[in-house]
Structure formats: structure tokens, C-alpha cells
Amino acid sequence: MKKEPKLSLDYAMYKMLQDSLDALPIGVTISDIEGKIIYTNTAEATMHGYAIEELIGKDARIFAPLQQWKRLKFEELYKIGAWKRESINIKKNGELFFVQLTSIAVKREKDVPIGIITVCEDITKQKKSEEMLKESDERYRSLFENAHDMIQSVAPDGHFIFVNPAWLKTMGYTWDELQKITILDILHPSCIPHCTQAFQKVMSGESLSNVEAIFVAKDGRLINVEGNVNARFIGGKVVASHGIFRDITEHKKSEEEIKKRVNELEEFYDMAVGRELRMKQLKEENEELNEELEKLKSSKNQ
């Protein structure tokens, strides 16, 4: 059997490697030890708005804005191994975009430097998503920190996961103090049964509206609250309850005062009506007595 020349085998391996690199969806650039591009794949060229032919022989820093032109010495990079970093690259038209880069210095036998392989991935969409998420988190945190309502999250065992500043201010606790107690410790005994039942419903995945309770502040003050409670899920599993409550203590006091006033008015009305009925009855009785008296006078005169 005739052996193929080693050269053609090497070429076949090289061609297979080149075809594989060209098929990758991420950019790959190989530069010599002077930083000149000796190979780049289609994804890299397209990502930066170039044709492959435009890049061969150019300084690899063509992909970076001037202010980011920095090159590690070959030996420094070789010691690092794989140099991974996020950076900003520039397209042919001047447009900047976010990238994830990984560079590796390669040597051949006898410690002879060959060049540097750099893999480039466009992470602009990922970065924008991260920025949007960050902005969303910041907006939520701002609302959370500045909300006048009392916001709390409670673990299945009753311990507090977090509360907002309005909660701490209303209840008079510090966060350190709160970590030593449970939700049952701040509930008035009269509302523990229905609150326990409500908590169990939420931990089973239900959402409850207009839940009323009486919280007991650190100094013993009773605070009437009303709010909504729902479950917090992670991976389809309920991990905590999340509640937003309004302090309705003053509202309750006003409500009680109104009820008291209504009761007083009803009692007064009953008394007034009763008195009027009694006066009418006395008048009728008086008229009957006068009639009887006239009859007696008439019979006497006869």
C-alpha cells in the first residue's frame, strides 16, 4: 500500500482546521509575534465590517480604539496562559461595540514563539440586557427604599428576609434586631390564628388581597395594617412571602370614633322617639280623663 506524502497530510489537516475556524460563529484572529494579522476567519472580519483580505498583514490593534491600544509582551502573555477580558472593539465604520476576548500565546518545539490566537465574541446584546436589568434593579431599589408603605419578605420558617426602611421606622426596630425574631413575634395575639392561616395559603402559592392584621411595635404600640401578600417563586418553588402593607391605625381610630358617634346618635334618637311617643300617650290619656270628667259633671248636673 502506497503511503501519501507527509506534506499532503499536513495540508489536509491545515485545510480541515481552516474550514472549521471559518465555520465558527465567533471571531478568530491569529497574529505573529509582532502583532501582524496572519489569519482571520469570516466571523471576525464580518463582525468588524471588513473583508478578510483587508485585514491580512494589518496590526491586530486595528480592532481596538486608539485609547485602548495596549499590547502585552509575548512572554508576559505566555505566562498568563489564557488572557480573558471584556473590552470595546471598533468597526471599520467607527462604531464601537462590546466584546469578550480570549488571547493565547503559542510556541512551537524548542520554545520558539509562533504567534497569538485571539477569540472574539460580540457581547453587545448581553451588555445591553445587563444594563437594562441594572436600571430595572436600581428603579426597584429606589421605589423600595423610598416607599411609604411597609414592605416585607418572610421565609417559610417565619424569619424576615428583608424589610424596607418605612417598615423599620414604623415598627421601631433595627435590621440586626429583626433578624433575631419571627413574624409571630410582631403579631398581636388576637390576629395570630387568621394570619397563620393566611401565611399557609401564601406559602402554597396563593395571592391574598386586603389582608388585615395588628402589628406590635418594639415599644408596644399597636399598628393596624392592611395589604396584599403573594408568594415568591424560584425554580417553580415557593421560597418566601412578599407583602406590602399600609398603616391604617389612624383610619381605624377615625372609624371607631365614627361608629361611637353613630351609636350615640342612635341612642339619642331612640330616646327622643321614645319620649315623643310617651308624650303622645300622656296627651291621649289626659284627653280621656278630661272626657270622663265632663261626663261625670254632666251626670251630676242632671
Per-residue pLDDT tens digits for 100-116: 999 998 888 778 888 89
In a domain, 204, yes or no: yes
For residue range 59-102, what is the model confidence (pLDDT) as tens digits?
999 999 887 777 778 788 778 888 899 999 999 999 999 999 99
Q: Is there a single domain that holds both residue 119 and residue 159? A: no
Comparing 18-22, 39-43, 193-197, 286-290, the range with the smallest average pLDDT is 286-290
For residue range 248-292, what is the model confidence (pLDDT) as tens digits?
988 777 777 777 776 766 676 667 666 666 677 767 766 766 666
The span from the CA of 240 to the CA of 159, in Å, is 10
At which of 225, 247, 269 does a domain end?
247
In a domain, 62, yes or no: yes
**Count of the separate structural domains present in the chain:** 2
At which of 128, 157, 185 does a domain end?
128
In a domain, 5, yes or no: no
The domain spanning residue 223 has which CATH number?
3.30.450.20
In a domain, 98, yes or no: yes
Q: Is there a single domain that holds both residue 76 and residue 159? A: no
Q: Is there a single domain that holds both residue 33 and residue 105? A: yes
What's the domain range around 243?
147-247
